[in-house]
Amino acid sequence: MLVSVYRYNPETDREPYMQDVEVSLLEGKDLMVLDVLNLIKEKDQSLSFRRSCREGVCGSDGVNMNGKNGLACITPLSDVAANGKLVVRPLPGLPVIRDLVVDMGVFYKQYQRIKPYLQNSSQTGNHERLQSPEDRAKLDGLYECILCACCSTSCPSFWWNPDKFVGPSGLLQAYRFLADSRDEATEERLAELDDPFSVFRCRGIMNCVSVCPKGLNPTKAIGHIRDMLLSRAT
């Protein structure tokens, strides 16, 4: 199988290039893209990419495969490269550090900005903050985000304004805390988001939904935030 991999080493290369590698696969056996990257790395140790858990939990190996973002470890070749050719590039829109490794700084900055932790200053005594099963259920589909950045780096609004638009991942997390019955900072959180960029740059094209490896729906969460901002303003 022919695999084309994005290569760039800022210490030796003047500019990035695509390297074609022929990888021999066993007949009738399906591999994950991460396995293919590992096979290439066996031949050429200089190829750099991130990976850790290799089962879609840690979110390290987000890459762009044949034009679509996803986690290399849980994307089977039969899904992504049915035509027999595979092109692997780093996640789009973020600065490349080397080969498939990108600088996620701006992505984490947006995550930090939405204050991804419970804010509650009331005293509970010596027991946990209780939540009804119904209130807990509101967090389903929100808390599962693994911060792989597949969604935010597939979003044109995030490409153009990564410093101002929070991005689908950050907004999903923002709503996770807005929706939490135990959080008391709803007003402060909404005030922080009410400008023309942070939330409203979302144009609802739903690239984020189509690439999320965990099957989450950031567009829906953004819609809920917009509703909250609207009812706060009216």
Partner 1 sequence: MVANFLNYSRSGVADWIVQRFSALILAAYTIVMVVWLVVNGMELTFAQWQGFIGQTWMRIFTLLTILALASHAWIGLWTVATDYLRKGVIRVVFLGFVGVSLFVYVVWGVSILWGF
Name the residues that contact partner 1, by CB under 8 A: 156-157, 160-161, 163-164, 193-201, 226, 229-230, 232-233
Nearer to partner 1 by Cβ, of 71 and 155: the residue is 155
Nearer to partner 1 by Cβ, of 4 and 161: the residue is 161
The nearest distance, CB 221 to partner 1, in angstroms, is 16
Nearer to partner 1 by Cβ, of 23 and 229: the residue is 229
The nearest distance, CB 67 to partner 1, in angstroms, is 21
The sign one gets for the Cα dihedral 83, 93, 34, 49 is: positive
Nearer to partner 1 by Cβ, of 54 and 164: the residue is 164
The nearest distance, CB 169 to partner 1, in angstroms, is 19
The sign one gets for the Cα dihedral 142, 143, 144, 150 is: positive
The nearest distance, CB 145 to partner 1, in angstroms, is 23
- Tokens standing for residue 179: 């929706």
The nearest distance, CB 195 to partner 1, in angstroms, is 5
- Cα–Cα distance between 33 and 82 in angstroms, integer? 12
The nearest distance, CB 64 to partner 1, in angstroms, is 21
- Cα–Cα distance between 201 and 196 in angstroms, integer? 7
Nearer to partner 1 by Cβ, of 108 and 197: the residue is 197
- Tokens standing for residue 153: 């780096």
CA distances from residue 229 to 44, 92, 145, 158, 234 in whole angstroms, order as listed: 52, 30, 23, 20, 9
Nearer to partner 1 by Cβ, of 143 and 200: the residue is 200
- Cα–Cα distance between 19 and 8 in angstroms, integer? 10
**Across the chain, where does the E strand assignment appear?**
2-7, 17-22, 62-65, 68-71, 85-89, 96-98, 101-102
